[in-house]
């Protein structure tokens, strides 16, 4: 079962960097934009690891280009670093919202980004996935960078998940390869829609839950489950709330054998019709069949029958939850 989703920042949660920063640096310095565009290819790893600042990185670039005079201009190098850093602050709101929705759906949310200290200090608090993540791992603080195995292991340990229980999104193949070498499921990010589709396919492939799972509990109508006993009516016939409860119980029973220890399902929606009355003493039977799996969301068709005919039909939605986390969140919410 996938328990954690881990996101890169640049070109995944952030919007792609345009060519404008390099062009602005060209206008300021007279150095061709293509030189500035090469900075990450030449010096990024040490920058991301926190070995040197952005200004120092651009000084190294200028010296590499034979412009020691510019490299010695500290104010100019800091200007270049600021232009570069500022361009990465803009989020892809849809991607950020999706990451947070996965967390809301029960997945642990991790951030794993090769990113400099200056950016985190200036913009980190304004990026919701950074703030809300169960664990945010930044290369500059760890002195490790992707695709090194150790940084992936650091995230897994902090999220308390096994490698096969995590999926990592990144726009660079070398980082996806690094994640896979650490045993993590890797999805190369080319677009939000592609990422959603790939995650859905992955969840379907690793989950034992799939369409067709069924259960068939069979109780008897007695004085405890009539409309008059449940307060939903005055007559001694099988109560609609009792039928709905039986359908929910049946769906929960269908899913339970396929869940890992510490996980269960909770009902979130019921849409049913009660088609006919059933008297005391007659046996009723409910069926639930799983017809759709969407991450942790399970959709069942449900039916109920007595000894004579079908008495109810509809659909029922349930979500898989981590019991400890669910109860912990509930306790915190009750204190607010």
pTM: 0.70
Q: Closest by alpha carbon to 118, among 134, 135, 138?
A: 138
DSSP 8-state secondary structure symbol assigned to residue 14: B
**Residue 226 to residues 143, 234, 278, Cα–Cα distance (Å):** 66, 9, 9
Say whether 269 is catalytic. no
Q: Tens of pLDDT along 312-325?
A: 999 999 999 989 88
Residue 291 CB neighbour total at 10 angstroms: 13
- The domain limits of the chain are 4-14+89-206, 20-86, 214-332
DSSP state string for 51-85: SS-HHHHHHHHHHHTT-HHHHT-HHHHHHHHHHHH
By DSSP bridging, strand 185-188 and strand 166-170 are parallel
The dihedrals phi and psi of 122, each to the nearest 5 degrees, come to: -90, -40
Burial class (CB in 10 A: 0-12, 13-18, 19+), 97: middle
* Catalytic pick among 118, 148, 165, 248: 248
Q: How many CA atoms lie within 13 A of 21 on its CB side?
A: 18
Cis-peptide into 147, omega within 30 deg? yes
Say whether 240 is catalytic. yes
d(Cα 167, Cα 253) in Å, to the nearest integer?
A: 28
Is the predicted pLDDT of residue 336 greater than 70, yes or no? no
Question: Mean pLDDT of all residues in the chain?
Answer: 93
Percent of the chain surpassing pLDDT 70: 99
Q: Tens of pLDDT along 103-158?
A: 887 789 999 999 988 899 999 999 999 999 999 999 999 999 999 999 999 999 99
d(Cα 128, Cα 166) in Å, to the nearest integer?
A: 21
Give CATH for domain 4-14+89-206.
3.40.50.1000
Say whether 274 is catalytic. yes
Q: Which pLDDT score, from 0 to 100, does residue 157 have? A: 97
The contacts of residue 310 (CB under 8 Å, 6+ apart) are 275, 276, 303, 304
* Catalytic pick among 53, 240, 301, 315: 240
- Cα pseudo-dihedral 270, 276, 280, 281, rounded to 10: -100
Tokens of 47: 């920058």
Fold classification of 214-332 (topology level): Thiol Ester Dehydrase; Chain A (3.10.129)
Q: Which pLDDT score, from 0 to 100, does residue 313 have? A: 97
Tokens of 57: 């990185």
Percent of the chain surpassing pLDDT 90: 79
* Catalytic pick among 226, 274, 316, 317: 274
Q: In the predicted model, what is the mean pLDDT of residues 170-179?
A: 97
Q: Which pLDDT score, from 0 to 100, does residue 107 have? A: 86
Decide if 85 contacts 119 (C-beta within 8 A).
Answer: yes
Q: Tens of pLDDT along 200-258?
A: 888 877 767 667 777 788 889 999 999 999 999 999 999 999 999 999 999 999 888 78
d(Cα 307, Cα 312) in Å, to the nearest integer?
A: 13
């Amino acid at each position: 079962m996938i328990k954690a989703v881990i996101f890169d920042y640049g070109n995944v949660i952030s919007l792609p960097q345009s060519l404008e920063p390099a062009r602005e640096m060209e206008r300021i310095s007279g150095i061709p934009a293509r030189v500035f565009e090469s900075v990450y290819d030449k010096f990024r790893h040490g920058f991301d690891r926190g070995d040197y600042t952005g200004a120092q990185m651009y000084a190294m670039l200028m010296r590499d280009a034979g412009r020691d005079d510019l490299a010695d201009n500290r104010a100019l190098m800091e200007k270049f670093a600021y232009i570069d850093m500022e361009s990465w602050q803009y989020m892809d709101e849809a991607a950020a919202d999706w990451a947070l929705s996965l967390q809301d759906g029960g997945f642990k949310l991790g951030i794993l980004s090769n990113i400099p200290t200056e950016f985190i200090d200036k913009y980190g608090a304004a990026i919701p996935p950074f703030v809300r993540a169960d664990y945010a791992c930044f290369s500059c603080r760890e002195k490790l960078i992707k695709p090194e195995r150790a940084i992936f292991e650091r995230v897994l340990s902090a999220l308390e998940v096994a490698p096969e229980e995590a999926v990592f999104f990144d726009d660079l193949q070398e980082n996806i390869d690094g994640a896979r070498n650490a045993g993590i499921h890797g999805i190369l990010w080319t677009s939000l829609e592609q990422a959603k589709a790939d995650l859905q396919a992955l969840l379907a492939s690793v989950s034992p839950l799939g369409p067709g799972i069924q259960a068939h509990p069979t109780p008897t109508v007695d004085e405890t489950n009539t409309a008059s006993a449940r307060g939903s009516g005055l007559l001694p016939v099988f109560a609609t709330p009792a039928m709905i409860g039986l359908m929910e119980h049946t769906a929960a029973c269908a899913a339970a054998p396929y869940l890992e220890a510490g996980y269960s399902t909770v009902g979130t929606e019921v849409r049913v019709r009660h088609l006919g009355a059933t008297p005391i003493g007659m046996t009723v039977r409910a069926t639930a069949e799983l017809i759709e799996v969407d991450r942790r969301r399970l959709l069942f068709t449900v039916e109920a029958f007595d000894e004579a005919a079908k008495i109810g039909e509809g659909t029922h939605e349930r979500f898989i939850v981590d019991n400890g986390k669910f109860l912990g969140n509930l306790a915190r919410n009750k204190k607010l």
